[in-house]
Amino acid sequence: MNLKYIYCLFFMVVLPSILPAEDGSQLWLRYPTNRNNIQTEQKATSEQSGVTISVALKELNLHWTGQRVELRIDKKLKALKDGYEIKGNGQLITVTSAQEVGLLYGAFHLLRLQAAKANLSDINLTEKPSFDIRILNHWDNLDGTIERGYAGYSLWKWDELPNTVSPRYEEYARANASIGINATVLNNVNASPDILKGEYLNKVKTLADIFRLYGLKVYLSVNFSSPKILGGTKDADPLNPEVKQWWANKVKEIYKLIPDFGGFLIKANSEGQPGPQDYGRTHADGANMIADALKPYNGIVMWRAFVYSPSDDDRAKQAYLEFVPLDGQFHDNVIIQIKNGPIDFQPREPFNPLFGALRKTPEMIEFQITQEYLGFSNHLAYLAPLFKETLDSDTYSDGAGSTIAKLTDGTLRPAKVTAISAVANIGEDTNWCGHHFAQSNWYAFGRLAWNHQLSSEEIADEWIRMTFTDDKNFVTPVKEMMLTSRETVVDYMMPLGIHHIFAEGHHYGPQPWLSEAGRKDWTSVYYHNADNTGIGFDRTETGSNAVSQYFSPLNKIYGNIETCPENLLLWFHHVPWNYQMKNGKTLWDELCYKYDTGVKTVREYQKIWDQTEPYIDTQRFREVQSKLKIQARDAVWWKDACLLYFQTFSKQPIPYDIERPVHELDDLKKIKLDMKHHN
Ligand SMILES: CO[C@H]1[C@H](O)[C@@H](O)[C@H](O)O[C@@H]1C(=O)O
């Protein structure tokens, strides 16, 4: 055998088999592994060592390479809830919490610090979570598909459960625990009633039993008509005693199987889902009836405010109009779950004016991690800046400083329980989220739910070092790319407050032109209103007056074209094409430059990424590289579609220092840019 052959054999066969799999399946959990499990010194002191403590010990034994660690339960730390203290004296590190799960979170905190190579000699820190319930919403259907899911089919194998248990259930729970996520809604808010059949509840129980080890509680989305469909009641009227009884019995059945079951998430009277209004009742009547059934077991109802019926009024106003009159009528185990913006998870929206407007009803945020409106799992968009933009928005509801974070975390409006949610981007793909960088959004949501004070940069930094490498030649440029990436998507899709000009149905590519949708608020022209005079949605007093739903002084600030932030200009105003922007450019020119900047920045990302090749494994390098190619092509498509179409109204040239369109408008109209387009 010649030497060359042996070399080849080594590099092609032996080496790959000894290198760890770099397919993304390990997420950010790439801790070093202690050979032979030598770290047996870790010990736990508590009256009873529960399962979650053993999981914490297992993590440390396997992955902690530092000094001795002791885990202690101390009820005196009750005020920290499931938070913890970590103290060290050079020889010994003590993690203390009032709750077992707090010790698990503390263990993961240590592993995070180890990955960051932090100096732990005299470590002394206290952590208390920002929100009690930190919950993922899966839009997973019982047939295995996922609504707005871009990482393959559902993780939950309903037809195999409860007999066959995928190892990924535990991996999923572990990943969540590592970032403090402690709750999950397993099924789509467009809920099949079947989830409440005994057969399915047994499957849910199996998942709950696995998740419990990691402090992860199970919740379900339920269909408001369930009693009628499953129980044969005459109707599902919340005031019908037979209906109430059905819910009470069903809840009892659930808690018998799952004693720590969390509660229900409900989408009612929205997009065709049944609800109390079908019987002339209110959202409060519906939510309370179900909440009462859960009350004896400490369960809660998360009732969604995402409602918009066909109406002549501005869709952006509807949640506020329907829910504000009901303030004070909800029972105390109901929380109103509100999407971050008033329309629908757009690349940029102002915050939903319902935040702060309910004074006697607890409110929680719903974010969307899955990128329904940000390029699915094809585009790189780090969402921590979007999440923070909402959390840090000042509503002025209780005077200056009434941020959405403080309104929902119990600071300004004390609540029995506080919560924060996000629609998951997780599927059965090997790398969980479809795009390696989409994992960072799952991570970022968990970290912000734990501590909304963390900056987007800190979170990106942690995630990059844990997921890829801590070589600064990689970390610095990649972090910069992540931090600007959401704004870049805004630039090439919908700059200056433009919104919802997505292709109807799939929401991937652009469709600013008129479509044949069933409802006018499902067409993009409803939102952009481009005509020969200008572009944008007039939500001022002369238009829909949605600005009046914001507290003073925001109503004035947004309502005045001169003071409205330019990144929301066309959300609130219909603006003439020749309107002069703050930088002196006309609106039309500015729009052109924004789209162009978006395109150019994605090309920069390609260059940045190509230079990272020496620092990471080939597989992930190539996979991200090919996604960036798609993103760059899509960005051009967006720019051409929007500029060529809007130009039919502005009737002005595209500034000559901008790259010319490479598409014809008529061609773009013929092919709707969707995922299939790339296959
Ligand atoms: C689950 O349905 C979704 C629907 O797919 C989505 O396009 C829209 O964003 O919002 C709905 C909702 O949030 O209820």
Q: Please classify residue 566 by burial: count the beta carbons closer than 10 Å to its beta carbon, then call 0-12 exposed, 13-18 middle and 19+ buried.
A: middle
CA 539 to CA 316: how far, in whole Å?
9
Q: Is the model's pLDDT at 47 over the cut of 60?
A: no
Give yes or no for residue 134 having a pLDDT over 80.
yes
Q: What is the 3-state secondary structure (H, E, C) of 222-236?
A: CCCCHHHHHHCCCCC
Share of the chain above pLDDT 90, in %: 89
Mean pLDDT for 348-375 is: 98
Residues 168-180 have pLDDT tens digits of 999 999 999 999 9
Q: What is the mean pLDDT of residues 340-357?
A: 98
Shared domain check, 283 and 340? yes
Instruction: Please report whether residue 586 resides in a domain.
Output: yes
User: Does residue 48 lie in a domain region?
Assistant: yes
Give CA–CA dist 496/346, Å, rounded.
13
517 within domain boundaries = yes
Kindly tell me if the per-residue pLDDT of 244 is higher than 90: yes
* Phi and psi angles of residue 643, each rounded to the nearest 5 degrees, phi first: -70, -45
Distance from the CA of 185 to the center of ligand 1, in angstroms?
A: 15
- The predicted structure's pLDDT at residue 18: 52
Q: Which of the four pLDDT bands, split at 50, 70 and 90, describes residue 19? A: low
Distance CA 513, CA 646 (A): 9
List, by residue number, the catalytic residues.
271, 344, 372
User: Where residue 110 falls among pLDDT bands split at 50, 70, 90?
Assistant: very high
Q: What is the pLDDT of residue 362?
A: 98
Q: Residue 41: which pLDDT band, with cuts at 50, 70 and 90?
A: very low
Q: Which of 127, 156, 171 is the last residue of a domain?
A: 127
Give yes or no for residue 140 CB within 6 A of ligand 1.
Answer: no
CB of 344 shorter than 6 A to ligand 1: yes
Supply the Cα-derived Rg of the chain in whole angstroms: 26
Looking at the domain assignment, is residue 22 inside a domain? no
CA of 544 to the centre of ligand 1 (A): 24
Burial of residue 516 (CB within 10 Å: 0-12, 13-18, 19+) is exposed
* pLDDT computed for residue 59 by the predictor: 96
Tell me the two tokens of residue 542.
Answer: 């002369």
Same domain, 425 and 395: yes
pTM: 0.96
Q: 337 and 373 share a domain?
A: yes
CATH number for the domain that contains residue 631: 3.90.1330.10
Residue 557 located in a structural domain: no
Same domain, 83 and 167: no
Q: How many domains does the chain have?
A: 3
In 3-state terms, what secondary structure has residue 112? helix
Cα separation, 310 vs 519, in Å, equals 7
pLDDT band at 4 (very low <50, low <70, confident <90, very high): low
- pLDDT above 50 (res 39): no
CA–CA separation, 138 and 136 (whole Å) = 6
Whole-number percent of the chain with pLDDT over 70:
94
Rounded to an integer, what distance in angstroms lies between the CA atom of residue 589 and that of residue 652?
A: 9
Q: Phi, psi (5° rounding) for residue 580? A: -90, 120
User: Ligand 1 centroid to 148 CA: how many Å?
Assistant: 8
Confidence of residue 40 (pLDDT cuts 50, 70, 90): very low
Q: Which two tokens stand for residue 560?
A: 């005045």
pLDDT at position 672 is 74
150/170 same-domain check = yes
Spatial distance between the Cα atoms of 640 and 503, rounded to a whole number of angstroms: 14
Asked if residue 593 has its Cβ within 6 Å of ligand 1, the reply is no
Q: Report whether pLDDT(449) > 60.
A: yes
Q: Taking residues 330-354, what's their average pLDDT? A: 98
Domain membership flag for residue 476: no
Please choose from 223, 338, 344, 376 the residue to mutate so as to test ligand 1's pocket, defined by most ligand atoms within 8 A of CB: 344
**181 in a structural domain:** yes
Of the pLDDT bands very low, low, confident and very high (cuts 50, 70, 90), residue 519 is confident
Quick check: CB of 308 below 6 Å from ligand 1?
no
Domain boundary among 72, 95, 127: 127
What's the pLDDT band for 520 if we cut at 50, 70, 90? confident
Query: Where a domain ends, among 459, 482, 508?
Result: 459
For residues 399 and 502, state if they share a domain: no
Is residue 663 domain-shared with residue 517, that is, in the same domain? yes
* pLDDT above 60: residue 44: no
Q: Domain holding 95: CATH number?
A: 3.30.379.10
Indicate if 183 and 285 belong to the same structural domain: yes
Whether 210 and 321 map to the same domain: the answer is yes
Same domain, 230 and 367: yes
DSSP class per residue in 260-327: T--EEEE--SSTT---GGGGT--HHHHHHHHHHHHGGGT-EEEEE-----S-SS-GGGHHHHHHGGGT
Place 677 in a pLDDT band, splitting at 50, 70 and 90: low
Give 430's pLDDT tier (boundaries 50, 70, 90): very high
Q: What is the pLDDT of residues 257-281, one digit of tens each?
A: 999 999 999 999 999 999 999 999 9
Is the domain of 361 the same as that of 304?
yes
pLDDT in tens, 594-653: 999 999 999 999 999 999 999 999 999 999 999 999 999 999 999 999 999 999 999 999
Residue 45 — pLDDT band, cuts 50, 70, 90?
low
Tokens for 397, please give them.
Answer: 């509801």
Considering the domain architecture, whether residues 120 and 265 belong to the same structural domain is answered as no
Among the ranges given (50-59, 212-221, 226-235, 411-420), the one the predictor scored with the smallest mean pLDDT: 50-59
What pLDDT sits at residue 514?
87
For residue 82, count CB atoms less than 10 angstroms from its CB and return exposed for 0-12, middle for 13-18, buried for 19 or more.
buried
CA distance 344 to 330: 24
Asked whether the predicted pLDDT for residue 676 surpasses 80, the reply is: no
Please provide residue 47's backbone torsions phi and psi, each rounded to the nearest 5 degrees: -55, -50
- The DSSP output letter for 14 is I
Alpha helices in 22-128 (DSSP H): 51-63, 100-115
- Average pLDDT value for residue range 244-264: 98
Average pLDDT of the segment spanning 435-454: 98
Domain containing residue 368: CATH number: 3.20.20.80
With respect to residue 552, please indicate whether it lies within any of the assigned structural domains: no
Structural domain range at position 358: 133-459
pLDDT, position 36: 43
- Closest residue by CA, ligand 1 atom 9: 344
